[in-house]
Amino acid sequence: MSVNILLDRYRHRVNTVLQRYISKLSFKNTALVGAMGYGTLLGGKRIRPLLVYATGNMLHADDAALDVAAAAIECIHAYSLIHDDLPAMDNAYLRRGHPTCHRKFGEDMAILAGDALQALAYSILVNSPMPGVTKENRLAMLSELAHASGVTGMCGGQALDLMSKGKRMTLEDLEKIHRYKTGSLICSAVRLGALTAGAYGKSVLPELDSFSHAIGLAFQAQDDILDVIGDAGMMGKKTSSDKLSGKSTYPTLLGVSNTQAKIRDLYQTSLSVLSILSEQKYNTTMLRALASFIIQRNK
């Protein structure tokens, strides 16, 4: 089986799992649950769940346990996008080629949907069966997701990003924002996959952290490039939004060609780390494919 077919199967798998969790919610016919499903199930690349599966697959974790971690982190990601799109944040009209959640359901329901998806993520991770995962490791996964989602991770990075609008920044400042805002959840996805495998996974966390830090920055740099030269129709959202909002980005600080060179360097760093794991007899094929996809994607 080719790696692309395998990744497509896992993408379909997490979509099915997410649909199952959403369909079991109380008040399923309300605008709130409708907004939760809309924000979660409307498509997307599913990079974070795929990183959970790819890491866990490399470490021989049970797919049923990986389903839980993959669904939890995608709920956090979906909530973050709903809130990012709000008028008080990025004021976006389109997401994945469709009206943003607040444009379809109203700001009030979009805010509540994001709040409820965050709660759902932790409910999934606490209550769902996870074959082969000890209570100790489940608790470590909860701590990991909380750390990556809050002030010490995504929310902290989002706050730094909002405060940076219209200000001149250094590359060091920019990368600090990206390590928190984008990189924290990407790193967390890899770590959740490793923690699902228990001690076997914990033994390679230093290498996996190095890998995910590199691809996390590469992911954001590619996002910045696409905002400048990407096709709005293909991306399903407006381009040039960073420029219009006065944000500093990799292209504004380095230029497009130097940003593309940086992406290639980060990609090579990620491959170098995976080569170390390959030498230890780990199958890194899926992680390599995801690293390649991250730097080559056009949306």
> Which pLDDT tens digit goes with each residue over 92-136?
999 988 999 999 999 999 999 999 999 999 999 999 999 999 999
**DSSP characters over 154-167:** HHHHHHHHHHHTTS
Looking at the chain, which runs of residues are DSSP E strands? 94-95, 98-99
Phi, psi of 133 (to 5 degrees): -105, 125
Structure tokens at 168: 């001149």
What does the pLDDT read at residue 166?
Answer: 82
Range of the domain at 243: 3-296
What does the pLDDT read at residue 247?
Answer: 78
Radius of gyration from C-alpha coordinates of the chain: 18
- What CATH code is carried by the domain that includes residue 158? 1.10.600.10
Per the structure, the count of domains in the chain is 1
pLDDT per position as a tens digit, 237-284: 565 566 656 678 999 999 999 999 999 999 999 999 999 999 999 999
* Residues in the chain, total: 299
- Beta-strand relationship, 94-95 and 98-99: antiparallel
Q: 165: pLDDT confidence band, cut at 50, 70 and 90?
A: confident
Q: What's the mean per-residue pLDDT of the chain?
A: 93
Three-state secondary-structure class, residue 183? helix
Reported pTM: 0.94
